[in-house]
Amino acid sequence: MQYRRLGKTGIEVSALGFGCMRLPTLGAPDRIDETAATDLLHEAIEAGVNYIDTAWFYHSAVAMAGAGESEPFVGRALSGGPGEGWRKRVYLATKLPQQLIKTREEMDGFLARQLERLQTDHIDFYLVHGLSGDSWNRMRDLGVREFLDKARERGLIRHAAFSFHGKKEDFPRIIDEYDAWAFGQIQYNYIDTDYQAGISGLRYAAGKGLGVVVMEPLKGGRLANKVPAEMQAVFDARPEGWSPAEWALRYVWNEPGVSLLLSGMGDKAQLEENLRVAGEAASGAMTAEMLEVYGAARKALQSRTKAECTACRYCQPCPFGVQIPECLAALNSAARWDTKDAWLTGWSQIKGRPDACTECGQCEEACPQGLPIRKLLKDTAAAFKS
């Protein structure tokens, strides 16, 4: 296992972190296969993984809707163990569910419950979960900075951090408005280089001395499992013999500012591949020729695009409430990844769906790309028709 410094904390963390959001289950998200999951976690620790990530919501019956089973599982899995015990061998990270917070006092309440659920007297890295610009403003005004300072003073948490799911321009501001952040956690992979914080945010954080923890390096598994044939052909043409997952992991680890990446490993084969690559991949190690492969893979994926929408939003607002850019993004996602899963494509989050379209044509008059939006909206409705 290779280790990297986590920003200005000076802590050496394993390049591979164990993400506890996608543990093996028994037919339902809140029914963790405890035997299989515990074996995976312990094997990872024995192999040198020293960073474990969980959250209040992970493995709940309904996503992001209540207390999940991941934290209690991690607490049980890290109790006991050989030598000084499993818990003392790892850095443990979990997250304050800001989505549920309405008062300053509730922050203390959630932290106390999480310490109990995790069966520990302290949390090494406590993240404010899923920040955007607006949610940071709300949490800041509720006193989250003071809460984090007090929790660190009391020894309940060792370091404060945050995970980010907002607009690119808000990421640097969140970093700059609290000087005790240990790291920012962002979604980053070779498809999402300009998504949310993106590469610019990653390098901004690193330049400020913060660690950077990467989530979704495999884009929820879409860069590992059953990639489109056009992309697979790009990788098959290379002499390295790497799987799509290995190409994706190496891309993230090649970036010097990355402290570690989190991988949700659901079976032993995934764990073994991740461990092997984590022991080999180094920052700045990929040649220019190798890096060109990612451009070819992106181009192959782009060839499946149904709507060349740039999300300029000139078509908005639709007089009938259709969220046109979001609808076209869902159509493209379904085509690119051969899936109509409402969550993965973003369809579940769209309120202004295309069935509200009256074909007035106002959007097409405004579209600088000249897109046949009315037809594309019909295609979107048909694609997601149950």
pTM score of the predicted model:
0.85
Between CA 160 and CA 140 the distance in angstroms is 14
Q: Where are the alpha helices (DSSP H) in 194-243?
A: 198-207, 229-236
Domains and CATH numbers, the chain: 3-294 (3.20.20.100), 324-383 (no CATH)
pLDDT at 225: 79
What is the tens place of the pLDDT at every residue in 159-211? Answer: 999 999 999 999 999 999 999 999 999 999 998 899 899 999 999 999 999 99
Length of the chain: 386
SS3 at position 128: strand
Angle at 93 between CA 88 and CA 98, to 5 degrees: 150
- The H or E element containing residue 110 is helix 104-117
Closest CA to 127 of 53, 77, 60: 53
- Give the tokens for residue 58: 């992970």
Between CA 27 and CA 45 the distance in angstroms is 26
The DSSP code for 25 is B
- The answer to whether 319 and 352 have CB atoms below 8 angstroms apart is no
The crossing angle, in degrees rounded to 10, of helices 34-46 and 268-280 is: 20
Residues 6+ apart with CB under 8 A from 374: 357, 359, 361, 363, 364
Between CA 96 and CA 368 the distance in angstroms is 42
Residues 6+ apart with CB under 8 A from 144: 96, 98, 107, 128
Name the burial class of residue 208, with classes exposed (0-12), middle (13-18) and buried (19+) by CB atoms within 10 angstroms of its CB.
middle
Residues 6+ apart with CB under 8 A from 11: 5, 91
Residues 6+ apart with CB under 8 A from 82: none
Residues 6+ apart with CB under 8 A from 121: 115, 155, 156
β-sheet bridge partners, residue 181: 160
Between CA 70 and CA 186 the distance in angstroms is 20
304-to-38, 230, 295, 298 alpha-carbon distances in Å: 40, 9, 15, 10
- The answer to whether 293 and 234 have CB atoms below 8 angstroms apart is yes
Strands 12-14 and 157-164: unpaired
> What's the one-letter identity of residue 217?
P
Task: State which residues of the chain have pLDDT below 70.
Answer: 63-65, 386
Residues 6+ apart with CB under 8 A from 87: 78, 79, 81, 119, 120
SS3 at position 66: coil
Between CA 88 and CA 45 the distance in angstroms is 11
pLDDT at 335: 87
Between CA 61 and CA 59 the distance in angstroms is 7
β-sheet bridge partners, residue 123: 157
Strands 3-5 and 12-14: antiparallel
pLDDT at 111: 98
Between CA 98 and CA 266 the distance in angstroms is 27
pLDDT at 64: 62
